[in-house]
């Protein structure tokens, strides 16, 4: 496929001969594609022909050396010392090669050595008396150890005690709101009553006394009757009645002396 050159006009109006019709009124789609395809093919061919080889540089050491003979004089010794100082292995001063080094080292060692003194302990004679006294053995049948006498201690007679009911709060009253003085419980407290967890709901009157008692413990009607009668004799603070008058308390039983030394 050949494309005829197109004549175009430059800036000065002169006709310019173009190889490819970049500017023109042609409406064909192949006109702008053909130059791009040709340029891409040429670039790919040049890129395929290009070969870049990267290799590490090889260093070759020269297999030769120089040998210089110096005279055995002060000038030769000076040149040998300069050559040694200019090389990779520098000369180093060795103190041991100095003739007066050993004598100086012995003097420094003697000056810094701490004199040692031999400890000689002073001896003294031991007493001639035997250190262990002869112990007399017990005869056959006699006790080996002396008889132990028991110390007489006075017997403490504890006062007789009895079970007494004690209140503890179940509502937001606190221990300070409970009465300190409690009346005595009439009747006998048996083991069943002492082991039961008693709980009651109380309604107070204006003076702080117990107006109504409701048992919250699952028991027979007659079992809680002595405790209900006992609660009606308890007087609480009148402020608790002003706050609403209802409070919940529990009853447990503690051992208290019968002579009244510890009523609470």
110-163 pLDDT, tens digit each: 888 887 778 888 888 877 776 666 666 777 777 777 777 777 777 777 667 778
User: Is the pLDDT at 6 greater than 60, yes or no?
Assistant: no
Of residues 121 and 20, more confidence is placed in 121
Q: Phi-psi bin for 164: left (phi > 0), alpha (psi -120 to 50), beta?
A: beta
Cβ–Cβ < 8 Å for 182, 231: no
Q: What pLDDT was estimated at residue 1? A: 44
Of residues 79 and 129, more confidence is placed in 79
Q: What is the DSSP string of 157-177?
A: -PPPEEEEEEEEESSTT-GGG
Q: What's the whole-number mean pLDDT along residues 87-112?
A: 80
pTM reported for the whole predicted model: 0.39
**Sheet with strand 210-215: strands edge to edge:** 161-169, 246-257, 198-204, 210-215
């Amino acid at each position: 496929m050949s494309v005829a050159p197109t004549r175009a006009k430059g800036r000065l109006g002169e006709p310019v001969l173009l190889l490819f019709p970049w500017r023109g009124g042609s409406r064909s789609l192949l006109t702008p594609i053909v130059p791009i395809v040709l340029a891409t093919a040429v670039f790919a061919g040049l890129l395929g022909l290009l070969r870049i080889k990267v290799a590490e540089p090889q260093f070759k050491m020269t297999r030769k050396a120089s040998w210089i003979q110096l005279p055995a004089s002060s000038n030769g010794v000076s040149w040998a010392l300069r050559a040694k100082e200019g090389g990779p292995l520098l000369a180093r001063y060795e103190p041991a090669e100095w003739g007066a080094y050993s004598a100086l080292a012995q003097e420094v060692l003697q000056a810094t050595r701490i004199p040692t003194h031999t400890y000689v302990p002073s001896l003294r004679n031991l007493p001639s008396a035997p250190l262990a006294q002869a112990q007399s053995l017990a005869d056959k049948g006699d006790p080996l150890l002396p008889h132990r006498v028991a110390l007489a201690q006075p017997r403490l007679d504890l006062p007789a005690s009895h079970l007494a009911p004690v209140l503890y709060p179940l509502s937001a009253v606190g221990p300070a709101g409970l009465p300190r003085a409690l009346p005595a419980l009439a009747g006998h407290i048996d083991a069943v009553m002492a082991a039961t967890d008693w709980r009651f709901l109380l309604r107070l009157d204006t003076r702080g006394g117990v107006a109504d008692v409701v048992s919250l413990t699952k028991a027979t009607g007659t079992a809680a009757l002595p405790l209900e009668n006992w609660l009606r004799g308890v007087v609480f603070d009148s402020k608790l009645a002003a706050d609403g008058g209802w409070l919940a308390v529990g009853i447990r039983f503690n051992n208290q002396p019968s002579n009244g030394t510890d009523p609470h």
